[in-house]
């Protein structure tokens, strides 16, 4: 267990491996012991890769790994946390927020393992929301769009582009004209975890800069990024 000073007190960290769903109950037990209760569970883990980085659409293991990381581990985390979340004295009870991606609804072949897992994650989120509807627990999800994190920078290098030009390319396809930031996603998580969303459960909140209003992949510059597209 990792412990350090936080902004308003101590921060506890419990090490776990999302690629091993069967270990999630132990992670929750350690966290509950360290904190003396659990009111909010945010599932925002990843596999350490992004888009073209490390996922092989021809390898079944990529699909299995993404299901373990994105679906089974969050589900088992929520199930293990259920006894503690249901006893939360917070206004509107315990809350679970699952961070996913709008890629669940984007037919982009190069990222099939990720896309399929995100779609499964959405179903898992809404299934748990209904399951826990009478147990003092709300469950919601955040569907993130193109967020400028370090992964986007790595993708730029992999494509032999400058970070600036690649970020600008991705931003140009967004209705709001920019990529999202981690803070954009964090603000949505805070809302869904707070009493402000007390009458909301089973919601999949898009934080995508309006991407769902248009299909950015229909832009020729983005289609050219896909090796199976028209490269003229």
The answer to whether the CB of 101 falls within 8 A of the CB of 143 is yes
Residue 28: inside a domain, yes or no? no
What tens digit of pLDDT does each residue of 116-142 get?
Answer: 999 999 999 999 999 999 999 999 999
The answer to whether the CB of 158 falls within 8 A of the CB of 137 is no
DSSP SS3 for 72: helix
Q: In 3D, which of 144, 143, 145, 127 has the Cα closest to residue 201?
A: 127
Residue at token pair 């490269």: 231
Q: How many distinct structural domains can be found in the chain?
A: 1
Residue 187: inside a domain, yes or no? yes
What tens digit of pLDDT does each residue of 49-88 get?
Answer: 655 567 888 999 999 999 999 999 999 999 999 999 999 9
Alpha-carbon span 83 to 72, nearest angstrom: 18
With a cut of 50, say whether residue 19 has pLDDT above it.
yes
- List the beta bridge partners of residue 205: 142
Residue at token pair 């491996």: 17
Residue 2: inside a domain, yes or no? no
Report residue 124 as tokens: 């898992």
With a cut of 70, say whether residue 48 has pLDDT above it.
no
The answer to whether the CB of 61 falls within 8 A of the CB of 55 is no
Residue 133: inside a domain, yes or no? yes
Residue 45: inside a domain, yes or no? yes
Provide the pLDDT confidence category of residue 232 given band limits of 50, 70 and 90. very low
Residue 22: inside a domain, yes or no? no
Residue 33: inside a domain, yes or no? no
For helices 150-158 and 163-172, what crossing angle results, to 10°?
A: 110
DSSP SS3 for 161: coil
Alpha-carbon span 220 to 210, nearest angstrom: 19
The DSSP output letter for 206 is: E
CATH code of the domain covering residue 94: 3.40.50.720
Residues of the domain holding 165: 39-223
The DSSP output letter for 68 is: I
The answer to whether the CB of 143 falls within 8 A of the CB of 104 is yes
The answer to whether the CB of 94 falls within 8 A of the CB of 84 is yes
Report residue 30 as tokens: 């350690």
Task: Please state whether the predicted TM-score (pTM) of the whole model is above 0.85.
Answer: yes
Residue 93: inside a domain, yes or no? yes
Give the mean pLDDT of 83-109. Answer: 92
């Amino acid at each position: 267990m990792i412990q350090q000073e936080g902004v308003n007190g101590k921060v506890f960290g419990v090490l776990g491996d999302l690629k091993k769903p069967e270990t999630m109950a132990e992670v929750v037990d350690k966290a509950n012991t360290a904190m003396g209760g659990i009111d909010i569970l945010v599932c925002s883990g990843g596999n350490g890769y992004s888009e073209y980085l490390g996922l092989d659409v021809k390898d079944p293991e990529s699909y299995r790994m993404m299901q373990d990381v994105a679906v089974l581990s969050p589900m088992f985390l929520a199930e293990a946390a259920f006894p503690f979340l249901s006893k939360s004295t917070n206004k509107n009870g315990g809350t679970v927020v699952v961070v996913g991606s709008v890629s669940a609804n984007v037919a982009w072949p190069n990222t099939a393992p990720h896309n399929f897992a995100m779609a499964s994650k959405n179903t898992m989120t809404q299934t748990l929301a209904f399951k826990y509807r009478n147990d003092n627990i709300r469950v919601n999800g955040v569907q993130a769009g193109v967020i400028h994190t370090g992964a986007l920078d790595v993708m730029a290098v992999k494509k032999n582009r400058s970070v600036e030009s690649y970020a600008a390319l991705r931003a140009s396809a967004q209705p709001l004209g920019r990529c999202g930031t981690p803070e954009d996603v964090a603000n949505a998580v805070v809302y869904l975890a707070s009493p402000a969303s007390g009458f909301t459960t089973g919601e999949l909140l898009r934080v995508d800069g309006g991407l769902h209003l248009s299909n950015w992949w229909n832009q020729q510059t983005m289609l050219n990024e896909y090796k199976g597209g028209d490269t003229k």
